[in-house]
Amino acid sequence: MRKCIRDAVVVITGASSGIGRAAALAFAKRGARVVIAARNEAALEEVAAECASVGARALAVPTDVRDEHAVRALARAAVEVFGRIDVWVNNAAVFLYARADEAPYETYRQVIETNLFGYLHGARAALPYFRAQGGGVLINNASVLGKFGAPMMSAYVISKFGILGLASCLRQELASTPGIHVCTLLPTTIDTPIYQHAGNTTCRAVQPIPPIADVQRAAAAMVSLAERPRREVYVGSAGHIATAAIVALARLSEQALAAYVMRATFLHRAAPRTDGNIFTPMKYWTGMTGGWRTTSRLAELLDAARAAARLALALPSTTAERLRPR
């Protein structure tokens, strides 16, 4: 049964840019009342104004999801203003490019604090209201990187693997409350500023792995999950294909995937070391997109199929040298 989004109260973390910003506007256009949260207060106010411009009520609550007390305060603010919470979207995330054995420990830790503990804090804040209401939808924006690893991205990958595990545990714990749904969104590469925001200790310039899907597709998928909750939904053809290849090819696919990711991600030019927005938000790159060239759905499917074919044909002799940035 489809749920009515009009007048629903939707809380979205990480709403100052990227998928979160696009989702806030998508929900607003459907008549939802949106509560938007992020660390960047100025960007949040811009998003609130955009939502108001389409006739929606919007509440901006500056929030650092690493702080459980702040996230609980976000939930209270939503209930105090709108009376309830119908949908909670865990979306805030940061990214780090770094070797697992070389990354600054505190930077590495902060990625996991934001991406995984931030989602746990959101669930712990929302579920008491869902239980009291007898229903609600929790949407965790994870990633296809919650299904398989990638070199130089281990902090992000660990957090996304953890989100899938958290969602599975929550569904089991909530089995006696059928009105509460726990959903996971699994986007492939999406055109957002997260790559401009990323921390990077590799000294190599980076780019998102093609094919790149439009951010509006991810936002639409979030709205779809709120209307018709499902366990997992992929965004982008590459996610299905890559996941299937990993399962089918096991160890071989890990080696081939690593080589492909290194070639597709790291450019042949230097870049300065940076913490990106891991510790503090950036004042720029707060739009929905990162300006990356998106791919049509047909071209995306063809690109994903070609990438899967390269994985299938790759030899197990892929060497560690190909994994090392030059």
**74-83 contacts at long range (C-beta below 8 A, 24 or more positions apart):** 74/11, 74/13, 74/35, 74/37, 74/125, 75/11, 75/125, 75/126, 75/129, 77/35, 78/9, 78/11, 78/35, 79/129, 81/35, 82/9, 82/33, 82/35, 82/57, 83/9
Which DSSP state fits 153? B
The pair phi, psi for residue 317, each rounded to 5°, is -85, 10
Residue 156 bears catalytic tag: yes
Phi-psi region of 34 (alpha: psi -120 to 50; beta: other; left: phi over 0): beta
Bridge partners of residue 34, in order along the sequence: 10, 58
The residue annotated as part of the active site, out of 108, 156, 234, 260, is 156
Catalytic residues: 156
